Amino acid sequence: MKHLISPILIVFLIGLAAAAGKIVYPWNAVTSIVKAGERFEVWFDAEPGQVVQSVVLRGPYNTVQISSIIAQTGSWTYDPVSENTYNTHITVAVPPGTPADRYDLIVNTSHGQALSNRAVQVIKEYKTTYKIFHISDSHLGQRGTEVLVPNKHTALVKTANIINPDFVFNTGDVVYYHSNPRRLQERMDLFYKGDESQGWKGMHDFNAATFVLAGNHDFQEGGSDGLPREGYYDLKSNYWNTYHGLQYHAFTYGDSRFILFNNGWVGYDWSWQIQRAGAWLKEQASGGRFKILLAHLKQGGPMETFVGDHNFDLGLFGHNHHLGDRNPYKIADNLMAYYARSVRDHFEFCLFVVDQATGTYTPLGYMNNNSETDGYGRSTASNRVLENDNEKNNEDRSVWVYNLTLDYAHNNDGAVSENTATLVNKFDFSIPAARVRFVMPKGYVYTVSQGTVYQAFDGDAFHIVDVDMDLDANSTTAVQIAVKHSAPVAAMDFAQNRYPAWRTEIRHCNDSPFEANRMIKVTNIPFRSRLNPINPAISCR
């Protein structure tokens, strides 16, 4: 049902109208996860006469030119409430061997580039065991928290990137509305992109795939042109589409099934989402050993029926800022529901380890000590970012003492050929497969003192080595990286003074700077000098 609205609001909504030539999916609220060598979809709304020419994935350290795309034109409605559509469906094949990372999606067209920041998560494999990082209720833009909430977001990003989760979920009440379109866009940019000038990080700075859900405050709320709390759901849906993207999403990951609902708006009939999810589980996503439901509100009625009918294993929610210390709660008679305590108020996150093989999960966090609750004696999955939690509302970040830190002995910027990363874990639980990323000069074979090398690859300018470390509870762990050896100079044509641009041979050396080491094979190494690629003083003995 469409509504009559004031001329002021009409002018505002014209400003909100989705821009032509825009990537609809994946974008902002939803990241696409794709295994290297497989395909993913792009929903693109092209301008009249605009033709898609190519697709590029741009990572933090490497660029992937996509050689295989299929673009189809038509008209598809992606939101039945706003009735918004897109007109170009693109299928993208990711080359085998593409490094695992989170990439910007660039669609090159006859009218220029369309960009979706950090929209595609390329993975090596579907992990049997994976981690979930859950936050909620940031309330960015609320008066009096303009500095504090971005500070907290930044700390959460840094903490998560050490923990190395596979998914990050934010379950609603994310950004407050502003009646000035420019100010509103600034808030959205701060939430997603951060602000480098202030050292603030946003959702795009998480290394993991991120997903954002709508909450009861995520619409045109307040101000002379604001909407009432009930009704106008077509306009609220259009608002969410314009600034965040999809309001409903479902996806598979190996044997897991994830469903993200928008049930946040007061009085909103979201039963269409339940119907879609039910059909999806029966048809495209049948089977699956582990099912996860996410929404802003934990509700009975249709939600409880849906959870019971489809045997869900885990539910993640927001809205109730102060209930997470009594997790878990019952839904459909199962203790499976967890609230993330508000970022704004409590500065906490929930953490889970899921085992797809057994269809079980382990919550990692402090214990529920309330004997009057159903979850008494169980882990709440809730965790405080700070050791000195009493300082969480201090805008001066320099006084914060973190429960998890990662520091490098030298700047991790590719300028040095050896480095040491020190991880300090003050949590009372071990963290499996925490991540250290080393940015190193090209032209060397590297070895690490401990941990597992998850991947190593030559980027556009640097060599990247990702090391996974199991961190014990209340521990300090150091991992060193150094040159194993430099690769040999290949045959050169001295008569013509020509040198090969790349070499792939590796000479094996017995020397190692560590007792335990892992050699990383390096290929496609650029020459930088006639005798030794970077530093003639470092070579095999």
Q: Could you give the 3-state DSSP secondary structure of residue 223?
A: coil
pLDDT per 10-residue tile (average), the chain, 541 residues: 41 42 97 98 97 97 96 98 98 98 97 97 98 98 95 98 98 96 97 97 98 97 88 98 98 98 97 98 94 96 95 97 97 96 97 97 98 97 98 97 98 97 98 98 95 97 98 98 69 32 37 46 39 36 32
Is the dihedral angle over the CA atoms 331, 337, 343, 346 positive or is it negative? Answer: positive
Question: What's the CA gap between 53 and 26, in Å, rounded?
Answer: 18
Global pTM value: 0.89
- CA nearest to 273, candidates 291, 294, 253, 256: 294
For residue 40, is it left (φ>0), alpha (ψ between -120 and 50) or beta? beta
**Confidence (pLDDT) at 6:** 40
- Structural domain boundaries in the chain: 404-526
Q: Which two tokens stand for residue 21?
A: 């030539």
**Confidence (pLDDT) at 225:** 83
Q: What is the dihedral of CA 69, 75, 78, 80, to 10 degrees?
A: -170
Residue type at 526? P
* 438 close to 412: Cβ distance less than 8 angstroms: yes
**Confidence (pLDDT) at 513:** 55
- CA nearest to 452, candidates 161, 164, 133, 61: 164
Query: Within 13 Å of residue 292, how many CA atoms lie on the same side as its CB?
Result: 28
**Helix or strand run (H / E) with residue 44:** strand 39-45
Question: What's the CA gap between 117 and 459, in Å, rounded?
Answer: 19
Could you say which architecture CATH assigns to the domain 404-526?
Sandwich (2.60)
* 540 close to 456: Cβ distance less than 8 angstroms: no
* 157 close to 381: Cβ distance less than 8 angstroms: no
Dihedrals phi, psi of 447, to nearest 5 degrees: -130, 150
**Confidence (pLDDT) at 5:** 43
